[in-house]
Structure 1
Amino acid sequence: MRRRATARLSEAGVENAARDVELLLRWATGLDAPALVSRAGEAATAEARVRFESALSRREARAPVSHIVGGRAFWGRWFEVTPDVLDPRPESETLIAAALERAAGAAPPARVLDLGVGSGCLLGTVLAERREATGLGIDASRAALAVAARNMAALEIADRAEMRLGDWLDGLTEGFDMILCNPPYIARAEMDGLSPEVLEHEPRIALTPGGDGLDAYRRIAPDLACYLRRGGRALFEIGPDQAAQAATIFAAFGWPHPIVHRDMDGRDRCLEYRRKP
């Protein structure tokens, strides 16, 4: 069954077909990897076979695995994923690693803001790791906020995480010790080159603002100093070729010399700004 399923996905153009077959089998059977190996010679239940065939057909049509199984692991925790939110990506864990790193002389963040909260994977992870902190997630999509709220509840941090409909920093009246942001940053010219999993199944509003992809930084940079408290840090995910352009935007508003964090593939992935105490 594995060989046939892997061949089907490969023929459909799915990369890492064998890995996806493994994930879908585990989901369909409810078994973890060791249990699947130990029962390799046993026939799956009729219900599991039906679930697996349905999942395989959807994956063959290039639906993301996260949409089929209902979520994705991020920084060791499970987050619900729907077509209303961006699929959490391993590259975004670069932002988490930077956020959880203790900056020299900086106190633990008491108040965290996530701009464009989406699934809530960034805010939820930081609050789960920093039990003393509270947070606010902003998003322009009501549907995304609903997903984020469910994820906060699942992590048992809903009492420390508020979700609010909004447009970046507009209307905020308080300061924050940490600001996180993974905005839409894909340039319009790059959209047609995305995989069907992304282009056809993820919300366009979370992928691109159009143009050169830098509009979110242009919106946020002018007012960043109004909302980042002294001693605080702001972290922005960027495309791997956008560090210089994004940094120029922030520099024009008094934020020179960012710390640039690279992802697991060695690509620029996060700009960090620190406000002096």
Structure 2
Amino acid sequence: MADRLRAAGVPGADLDARLLFAFALGLPANGLPGDAIVAESEAASAEALLARRMAGEPVARILGEKEFWSLPFSLAPETLVPRPDTETVVEEALHLLPDRAAPLRILDLGTGSGAILAALLVEYPHAFGVGVDRSEGAARAARDNLARLGLGTRSLVATGDWGSALSGPFDLVVSNPPYIPSSHIAALDVDVRAHDPLAALDGGADGLDAYAAIARALPSLLAPGAVAVLELGIGQEAAVADLLRMAGLQLPGPARRDLGGIARALSARRP
């Protein structure tokens, strides 16, 4: 399987092959048999999974699950596949609010699978979180993921248009909004443009539509002295910073960079 994926130019072919083959056999990836006989039905299942991957479908979509912050998240068609870059948002929040015992009120705008909110609730065991998404399917997925992780009693998930129906106050607001300019969607890799929901990608003509809506809402959502952390697209730090300043928020410093060195998580504070 790995040889065929490599020949097709699929990055990470060895890992993908191992994950898909284990899934076809109904085994964990670390439980693959060394020389066991594979049934014909299992071989056929592996072949079908391989064909899907070679056609550009991400492994996470095929498996229906993705890990984020060392936690498992089930996916739905309406949710993005959580990316490692987004963990930078969690890291920035933990840096700004180092007291893990604080009884924080956390809001996740555009919660998707609930990954960011769940990671923060795990790190802040006395916090309560609210997740909001415009998609009912995404809201259901987030609610189910939070419940499976044992966080259902410390969270609430609702559908809504960003923060327009909320009054706060919250101690921490986080968001990974859609930020791809509309004209750039067609040039995205096939595993993104064909398999991630368009509503979670398309940020409008300049990629800033969601940021503008969030910036307008933040002053009424944040408690005095509270903070917001927003994920950024490449090259968006200055424009998003301007939107936050125009909303009357203070920026404590430059955006936190992800492992690739890209400015990824921008924080703002209500005076």
> If the TM-score is normalised by the length of the shorter chain, which range does it land in?
over 0.9
Return the letter of the residue paired with 1:9: L
Q: Spell out, residue by residue over 1:129-157, the C-alpha distance to the aligned partner (whole angstroms, 9 max, x if none).
A: 21211111111100111111110111011
Q: Find out whether 1:216 has 2:210 as its counterpart.
A: yes
Identify the match of residue 226 of structure 2 among 206, 225, 232: 232
Instruction: Identify the residue that residue 58 of structure 1 maps to in structure 2.
Output: 52
Structure 1 residue 105: Cα displacement:
8.4
Say what the alpha-carbon RMSD is for the aligned residues: 1.9
Return the letter of the residue paired with 1:140: R
Q: Spell out, residue by residue over 1:207-255, the C-alpha distance to the aligned partner (whole angstroms, 9 max, x if none).
A: 0122010111111212311111123210000012110111111111222
Using the size of structure 1 for normalisation, the TM-score is 0.91
Measure the CA separation in 2 of the matches of 1:216 and 1:107: 31
Measure the CA separation in 2 of the matches of 1:102 and 1:255: 15
Measure the CA separation in 2 of the matches of 1:150 and 1:196: 28
Q: Percent identity?
A: 38
Instruction: Identify the residue that residue 150 of structure 1 maps to in structure 2.
Output: 144
Q: Find out whether 1:165 has 2:159 as its counterpart.
A: yes
Measure the CA separation in 1 of the matches of 2:96 and 2:207: 30
Q: Spell out, residue by residue over 1:34-66, the C-alpha distance to the aligned partner (whole angstroms, 9 max, x if none).
A: 533xx3222234443233222111112211111
Are residues 107 and 34 of structure 1, via their aligned partners in 2, closer, same or farther at CA, if it must alter by over 3 Å?
closer
Measure the CA separation in 2 of the matches of 1:59 and 1:69: 11
Q: How many residues align?
A: 270
Is this contact kept in 1: 2:100–2:124, CA < 8 A? no
Counterpart secondary structure, 1:101: helix
Measure the CA separation in 2 of the matches of 1:222 and 1:206: 20
Task: Output aligned runs, 1:46-195, within 5 Å.
Answer: 46-103=40-97, 108-195=102-189
Counterpart secondary structure, 2:202: coil
Measure the CA separation in 1 of the matches of 2:13 and 2:100: 44
Structure 1 residue 25: Cα displacement:
1.9
Counterpart secondary structure, 1:108: coil
Return the letter of the residue paired with 2:4: R
Is this contact kept in 1: 2:22–2:31, CA < 8 A? no
Measure the CA separation in 1 of the matches of 2:148 and 2:101: 28
Is this contact kept in 2: 1:113–1:179, CA < 8 A? yes
Structure 1 residue 128: Cα displacement:
2.0
Structure 1 residue 97: Cα displacement:
1.1
Identify the match of residue 6 of structure 2 among 2, 6, 10: 10
Which ranges in structure 1 are unaligned for 5 or more consecutive residues? Answer: none
Which ranges in structure 2 are unaligned for 5 or more consecutive residues? Answer: none
